[in-house]
């Protein structure tokens, strides 16, 4: 993703605390429907939709996220971008995910995936205070201004400090990795050594070998086990590379798309677009009725998408085409996901490719703090839930999402 691994910068302070707290709270949000106060409203809404999907299907899921890093909970700062008020940074940590899906007490599916967890955290740019920017109260969800919340939410009365409101986590995803920590490598090698040693001793018993055989081959087993384990890892990598061959067609998408978009909006970031695309796809997939969503302007989704119970980013987002017309740009993307389906009393894993087409205006700068879940009507100023209302329930004016953000105009299986 364009990170400089030779200039590693560990995250510290309130950033580190919120990144780790988010990781620790994510399982409870998916499994039990609990909210994460410092998470972006869009994330909170997606997690609620996912929990509702699981409940409707009568499924229970345990979602244990653990650190694989030898340095435990340290996140590393990667790419960053900013606009007039906010700066966003992608931070990552080697994290594993243990999932177990149950129905009526019976285990339907379980796995343990070795991944890298990416979290985007957004903060206020030093010296530039977004007093008049709209912000959703973390306590009651009402729309106010940043300065208004610090003086006290006019709806619930809660008072906040800037540290309560920012920084906040605005996106997250997991990507499966080939990499191994030192602990994981040693654990795998030890298993290989024990198996090799048992095989050597069994052969010694079969062929009635003497003590010299056992001593010599016990020492030799150290090297044989290392070779066999290295060969196993190499073949495993080859298989995964072959299975991911289709993703190579996305190479060059970042450069092609970002070069073009920066001419339209200089603060544009491909990481931001990737996070936004993943968010819109997941919201549409997990929603009960996608046609109620303000940002979705396409047709009825494939019914199979209603069987999806979990989605993780597959590590590739390709840009198939970019079309500009007047003040609008339309982008057709190819998004790779690792998906869990629950259908016909079965839960199964599948690598899935989606074709997602997005559209937005080009004459209005990107607002990195925009939330699609709660907005203020530009006509009357009233606050309403934009995920279920395409028109303001107070004044009746239609809200045009492409004025502020990307709209999803088509979503289908590739």
**Burial class of 175 by CB neighbour count within 10 A (0 to 12, 13 to 18, 19+):** middle
Last residue of a domain, one of 206, 222, 243: 243
pLDDT tens, residue order, the chain (414 aa) = 444 444 568 888 889 999 999 999 999 999 998 888 788 888 988 999 999 999 999 999 998 998 887 666 789 998 888 877 888 899 998 888 999 999 999 999 999 988 889 999 999 887 667 777 777 787 777 777 788 887 788 888 887 777 778 899 999 998 887 666 677 777 777 888 888 888 877 877 777 666 666 677 778 888 888 888 787 777 776 666 555 555 544 455 667 677 777 776 676 778 888 888 999 999 999 999 998 888 898 999 999 999 999 999 988 888 888 888 888 889 999 999 999 999 988 999 999 999 999 998 878 777 777 777 767 777 877 777 777 677 887 888 887 777 778 899 999 998
Bridge partner list, 374: 385
Q: Concatenated DSSP letters for 288-334?
A: S-GGG-TTB-S-PPPGGGGGEEEEEEEEEEEEEEEEEETTEEEEEEE
- Which of 243, 261, 290 is where one domain is finished? 243
- CA 251/CA 260 separation, integer angstroms: 16
Phi and psi dihedrals of 356, rounded to 5?
-120, 130
3, part of any domain: no
**Global pTM?**
0.79
Q: Which contiguous run of DSSP H or E holds residue 82?
A: strand 76-82
- Give a yes or no: residue 4 inside a domain: no
Mention every residue, 6+ apart, whose C-beta is less than 8 A from residue 360.
328, 329, 402, 405, 406, 407
Range of the domain at 302: 13-177+247-413
Which residues lie across from 41 on neighbouring strands? none
How many folded domains does the chain comprise? Answer: 2
Residues 361 and 340 in one domain: yes
Distance, CA of 40 to chain centre: 13
For residue 338, which of 355, 351, 353 has the smallest C-alpha distance?
351
* pLDDT given at position 213: 65
Shared domain check, 232 and 195: yes
296 belongs to a structural domain: yes
Q: Which residue has the tokens 């003590």?
A: 211
C-alpha span between 336 and 354 (Å, rounded): 6
């Amino acid at each position: 993703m364009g990170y400089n691994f030779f200039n590693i910068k560990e995250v510290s302070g309130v950033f580190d605390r919120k990144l780790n707290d988010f990781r620790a709270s994510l399982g409870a949000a998916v499994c039990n429907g609990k909210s994460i106060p410092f998470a972006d409203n869009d994330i909170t809404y997606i997690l609620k939709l996912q929990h509702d999907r699981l409940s409707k299907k009568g499924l229970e899921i345990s979602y244990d996220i653990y650190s694989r890093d030898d340095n435990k909970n340290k996140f590393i700062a990667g790419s960053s971008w900013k606009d007039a008020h906010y700066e966003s940074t992608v931070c990552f940590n080697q994290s594993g995910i243990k999932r177990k899906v149950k129905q009526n007490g019976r285990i339907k599916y379980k796995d343990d995936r070795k991944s890298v967890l990416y979290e985007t955290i957004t903060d206020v740019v030093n010296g530039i205070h977004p007093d008049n920017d709209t912000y959703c109260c973390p306590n009651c969800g009402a729309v106010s201004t940043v300065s208004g919340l610090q003086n006290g939410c006019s709806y619930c009365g809660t008072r906040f400090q800037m540290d309560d409101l920012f920084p906040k986590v605005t996106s997250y995803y997991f990507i499966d990795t080939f990499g191994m920590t030192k602990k994981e490598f040693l654990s795998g090698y030890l298993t290989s050594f024990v198996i090799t040693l048992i095989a050597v001793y069994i052969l010694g018993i079969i062929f009635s070998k003497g003590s010299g055989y056992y001593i010599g081959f016990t020492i030799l087993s150290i090297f044989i086990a290392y070779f066999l384990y290295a060969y196993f890892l190499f073949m495993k990598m080859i298989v995964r590379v072959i299975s991911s061959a289709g993703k190579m067609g996305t190479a060059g998408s970042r450069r092609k798309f970002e070069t073009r978009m920066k001419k339209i909006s200089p603060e544009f970031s491909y990481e931001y677009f990737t996070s936004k695309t993943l968010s819109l796809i997941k919201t549409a997939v997990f929603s009960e009725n996608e046609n109620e969503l303000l940002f979705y302007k396409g047709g009825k989704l494939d019914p199979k998408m209603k069987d999806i119970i979990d989605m993780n980013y597959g590590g590739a987002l390709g840009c198939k085409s970019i079309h500009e017309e007047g003040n609008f740009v339309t982008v057709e993307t190819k998004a790779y996901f690792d998906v869990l389906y629950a259908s016909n009393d079965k839960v199964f894993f599948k690598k899935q490719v989606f074709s997602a087409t997005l559209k937005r205006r080009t004459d209005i700068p990107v607002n990195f703090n925009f939330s699609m879940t709660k907005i203020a009507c530009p006509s009357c100023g009233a606050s309403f839930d934009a995920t279920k209302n395409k028109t303001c329930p107070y004044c009746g004016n239609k809200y045009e999402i492409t004025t502020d953000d990307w709209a999803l105009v088509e979503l289908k299986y590739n």
